[in-house]
Amino acid sequence: MAIVLFLCAFIIWLNFIRGYPRIIRTTMLWEPPAHSPGKPLIAVIEMGCDESFPQLWRSMGCFINELADANIAILHYRNVTPGSIASLNPAAVILTGYHQELARYSQDEMHGFFEFLSQTDVPVLGICGGHQFMGLAFGSSIVGMGFEERGYFRISIRREDPIFAGISRMPLVYDWHSLKLDRVPPGFLLLGDNEHCIQAMRHEHRPLYGVQFHPEFADRAYPDSTLMVKNFMVQAGIPLRRSSPE
């Protein structure tokens, strides 16, 4: 009986994880490699409000590790302050997405994180939920869409920017969200959108970017969003790996 129950549970679990992008399934045990002297550091900020599956910092960290010849440090947003980031001296900061209900978040717990965003000149790239929280930090609201946008969608580029170097006017990206920003926050520029929401934005004067889509979930057959991340790394002065995926 125990074997039958185990097999049933395994089949249910297998069917469950098949619904997630491949990189989540293949990086469930990923950990940051040991740091190498002399390499720049990228800080990946876990924006999930708990440790529930899926742990998006693992898929994001592995994705960044494949692209950038850099060290990687993982921090939880609750531990982010201007001082904690300054102590790491990162060349860039990446904000992950999240899959928890917005009601699970406390504004008090995000005070240090918002303070960091309001002050930093370090290049920051917010992904999906990280993009939304970046907008929230600067005066936008996070609102429901009434449906889930999940899969590959084309977006329209509305403004030229170095992050789009080498990319077509309507890149194909992987979205997975049911929340969005209600508007471009004050001090930011709209870079790209689709009929559903803001898809890319940038601060007018500082290297702060937000994208609603998930570059780490895109298949290698659809390289547009991966190239955007590479362009961001180049702007931050981070060397790319020669064998990084296109």
The set of catalytic residues is 128, 214, 216
State whether residue 101 is helix, strand or coil.
coil
Strands 124-127 and 142-154: unpaired
Residues 6+ apart with CB under 8 A from 164: 157, 171, 191, 192, 228, 231
What does the DSSP 8-state code read for residue 184? P
Inter-residue contact 176 to 23 (CB < 8 Å): no
Residues 6+ apart with CB under 8 A from 237: 40, 91
Q: Which amino acid is at 195?
A: E
